[in-house]
């Protein structure tokens, strides 16, 4: 993993961009959680995406996503991408973020970012009854549970 330090820095201070969708369906949302590690002897990134997100539907179609870590201050864009849904809006057009093609996967990458391309190797949705009561109450009152998308990291580069 090349960008661990920058990733942790952004995840703890406003988030990163999670991109998905093939040609004509590109989308970007803000993600504040996530983790990198090793699984099946491969480098992986785990993205927690609630099943209600448009991003979730797009990842079901393509089986991949990219984590894009801003290299400069993107507070405004992160706020928009974390509050509007791509179901109703092209958030690239709305924010002025520039979409470039990914190298290995069917998804856009955000210009001026550090990019981590991932192919979903496994996904599983959290089971509400198995969570501690305080977490259930704080995060899942509406039952929109996170699906943990474990993506094999297939490329990492700077744009
Ligand atoms: C700082 C921040 C962090 C967020 N982190 C996540 C996350 O880790 N997982 C998630 O499913 N949604 C997260 N969201 C919410 C989504 O970004 C938001 O619901 C977005 O509108 C979904 O867009 P979409 O419907 O186009 O996929 C976060 C929002 C903000 C503002």
**CATH number (domain holding residue 140):** 2.30.110.10
Closest ligand 1 atom to Cα of 52: 25
Question: Looking at residue 24, what is its pLDDT?
Answer: 87
Domain extent, residue 129, equals: 4-158
Choosing from 30, 49, 80 the residue with most ligand 1 atoms within 8 A of its CB, the one to mutate for a pocket test is 30
Beta strands 27-31 and 16-20: pairing type? Answer: antiparallel
Quote the tokens at residue 26. 């590109």
Per residue, the 3-state secondary structure of 39-60, as one string, reads ECCEEEEEEEEECCCHHHHHHH
The whole-angstrom separation of Cα 33 and Cα 16 is 9
pTM of the model: 0.96
* Tally of structural domains, the chain: 1
| 43 Cα: distance to centroid of ligand 1 (angstroms) | 24
Can you name the residues that pair with 39 across neighbouring β-strands?
42
Q: Label residue 23 by pLDDT band (50, 70, 90).
A: confident
Average pLDDT over residues 117-139: 97
The secondary structure of 90-135 as a DSSP string is -HHHHH-PPEEE-SSSSSEEETTEEEEEEEEEEEEEPPGGGS-HHH
Residue bearing the CA closest to ligand 1, atom 9: 49
Ligand 1 lined by 58 (C-beta under 6 Å): no
Question: Looking at residue 131, what is its pLDDT?
Answer: 97
Question: Looking at residue 71, what is its pLDDT?
Answer: 96
Q: Label residue 148 by pLDDT band (50, 70, 90).
A: very high
Residue pLDDT, tens place only, 67-112: 999 999 999 999 999 999 999 999 999 999 999 999 999 999 999 9
What backbone phi and psi angles, to 5 degrees, belong to 9?
A: -60, -45
Average pLDDT over residues 128-147: 96
Ligand 1 lined by 42 (C-beta under 6 Å): no
Closest ligand 1 atom to Cα of 78: 31
Task: Identify whether the C-beta of residue 139 lies closer than 8 Å to the C-beta of residue 32.
Answer: no
| 29 Cα: distance to centroid of ligand 1 (angstroms) | 6
Q: Residue 1 above 90 pLDDT?
A: no
Q: Label residue 9 by pLDDT band (50, 70, 90).
A: very high
What backbone phi and psi angles, to 5 degrees, belong to 28?
A: -145, 130
Question: Looking at residue 141, what is its pLDDT?
Answer: 95
Mean predicted lDDT score pLDDT of the chain = 97
């Amino acid at each position: 993993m090349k960008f661990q330090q920058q990733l942790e820095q952004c995840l703890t201070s406003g988030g990163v961009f999670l991109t998905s969708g093939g040609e004509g369906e590109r989308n970007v949302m803000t993600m504040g959680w996530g983790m990198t590690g090793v699984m099946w002897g491969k480098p992986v990134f785990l993205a927690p995406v609630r099943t209600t997100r448009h991003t979730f539907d797009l990842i079901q179609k393509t089986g991949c996503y990219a984590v894009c870590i801003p290299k400069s201050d993107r507070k405004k864009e992160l706020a928009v991408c974390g509050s509007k849904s791509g179901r109703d809006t092209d958030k690239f057009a709305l924010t002025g973020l520039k979409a470039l093609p990914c190298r290995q996967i069917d998804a856009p990458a955000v210009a001026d970012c550090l990019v981590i391309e991932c192919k979903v190797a496994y996904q599983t949705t959290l089971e509400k009854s198995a969570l501690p009561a305080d977490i259930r109450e704080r995060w899942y009152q509406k039952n929109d549970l996170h699906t943990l998308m474990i993506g094999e990291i297939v490329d990492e580069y700077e744009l």
